[in-house]
């Protein structure tokens, strides 16, 4: 769902207001690759004490920006040795990380797990505030909104099936579902009543095949399908061979962030570029 204009204006104003007192920007350590994306997108390089992902990590959308930055394991000993002012995390360090680091006197900014584009917008604002990068957060927020606006462009609405290498699809109640809807497409799994993450229903695909397949993470070398994966099943291999497909970079959709809005824009652009049924 695209953010309402009034909500976007309020969020942007909050970003640009800046921190009270004009304090120095904190030196930060990130504890997982999703937190890395927020830090890499928003922080100055000299703010970043260390992150967990590097320039060779295919799952990191901003891996090029990680070139030359120090990498750290999420172990408490390694983090504490860097003496950061701020720790940013999504899932890194485990469920007790925030309480543990609080006992050491370190500030922890927990990104949480955004469940909608509105949640992602709020996460950008909060991260920008924590990092002292309110203006940069406003720019990132505006870019996400522009992607969502482009994703909402008119065009065909095919019945689309999202597919991972392991033969899993995404029903209602997920950010992938919201990405598909933001692009103006019909999520085949949700239309069939699926919610959350479920195995692809092979029988249903035979009876009612999708008009479009959206693949995610097929470009990731560490999560390619093995011989037992459903994507090796003849029903799916035949379906992939005869159905138009849009292949999304797994790094764009692996975290609850603005990459999902960019992916929605790509879905709309590539769907509109597909030949029509009479071509």
pLDDT band at 166 (very low <50, low <70, confident <90, very high): confident
pLDDT band at 97 (very low <50, low <70, confident <90, very high): confident
Which range is most confident: 58-67, 93-102, 222-231?
58-67
Evaluate if residue 13 carries a pLDDT over 80: no
Whether the pTM exceeds 0.95: the reply is no
pLDDT at position 23 is 62
pLDDT at position 221 is 57
CA distance 34 to 171: 22
CA distance 228 to 230: 7
Residues 6+ apart with CB under 8 A from 15: 125, 128, 129, 134, 135, 137, 138, 141
Q: Which of 123, 54, 135 is nearest to 90 (CA)?
A: 123
CB distance 125 to 109 below 8 Å: no
pLDDT at position 229 is 67
Structure confidence by residue, pLDDT tens digits, 173-184: 999 999 999 999
Beta strands in the chain (DSSP E): 28-30, 48-50, 86-89, 107-110, 159-163, 168-170, 186-187, 197-199, 212-216, 245-248
CB distance 219 to 165 below 8 Å: no
CA distance 170 to 175: 9
Evaluate if residue 242 carries a pLDDT over 50: yes
pLDDT at position 279 is 46
CA distance 86 to 25: 10
pLDDT at position 12 is 41
Higher pLDDT, 278 or 141: 141
Q: Which of 28, 30, 81, 27 is nearest to 54 (CA)?
A: 30
Evaluate if residue 22 carries a pLDDT over 50: no
SS3 45: helix
148, burial (CB in 10 Å: exposed 0-12, middle 13-18, buried 19+): buried
Structure confidence by residue, pLDDT tens digits, 27-49: 999 999 999 999 999 999 999 99
Q: At what angle do helices 117-131 and 259-273 cross, to 10 degrees?
A: 140
Evaluate if residue 192 carries a pLDDT over 70: yes
Evaluate if residue 94 carries a pLDDT over 90: no
pLDDT at position 224 is 53
Residues 6+ apart with CB under 8 A from 102: 108
Mean pLDDT of the chain: 88
Ordered structural domains, the chain, with CATH: 5-149 (3.40.50.1980), 156-273 (3.40.50.1980)
Higher pLDDT, 279 or 210: 210
Q: What is the DSSP string of 197-246?
A: EEE--HHHHHHS--SEEEEESTT-GGG---TTSGGGSHHHHHHHHHS-EE
CB distance 136 to 128 below 8 Å: yes
């Amino acid at each position: 769902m695209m953010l309402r204009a009034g909500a976007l204006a309020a969020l942007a104003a909050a970003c640009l207001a800046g921190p009270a007192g004009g304090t120095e920007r904190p030196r930060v350590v990130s504890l997982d690759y999703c937190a890395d994306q927020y830090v890499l997108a928003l922080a100055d390089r000299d703010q970043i004490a260390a992150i967990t992902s590097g320039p060779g990590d295919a799952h990191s959308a901003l891996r090029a920006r990680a070139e030359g930055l120090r990498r750290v394991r999420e172990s408490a000993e390694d983090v504490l040795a860097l003496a950061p002012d701020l720790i940013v995390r999504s899932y890194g360090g485990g469920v007790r990380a925030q309480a543990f680091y609080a006992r050491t006197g370190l500030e922890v900014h927990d990104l949480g797990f955004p469940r909608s584009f509105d949640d992602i917008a709020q996460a950008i604002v909060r991260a920008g505030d924590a990092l002292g990068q309110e203006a940069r957060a406003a720019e990132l927020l505006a870019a996400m909104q522009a992607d969502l606006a482009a994703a909402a462009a008119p065009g065909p609405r095919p019945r689309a099936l999202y597919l991972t290498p392991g033969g899993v699809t995404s029903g209602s109640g997920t950010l992938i579902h919201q990405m598909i809807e933001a692009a103006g497409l019909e999520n085949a799994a949700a239309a069939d009543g699926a919610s959350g993450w479920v195995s692809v229903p092979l029988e249903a695909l035979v009876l009612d095949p999708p008009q479009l397949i959206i693949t995610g993470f097929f470009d990731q070398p560490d999560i390619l399908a093995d011989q037992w994966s459903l994507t090796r099943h003849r029903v799916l291999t035949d379906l992939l061979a005869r159905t138009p497909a849009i292949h999304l970079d797994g790094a764009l959709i692996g975290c609850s962030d603005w990459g999902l809005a960019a992916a929605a824009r790509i879905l709309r652009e590539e769907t509109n570029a597909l030949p029509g049924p009479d071509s």
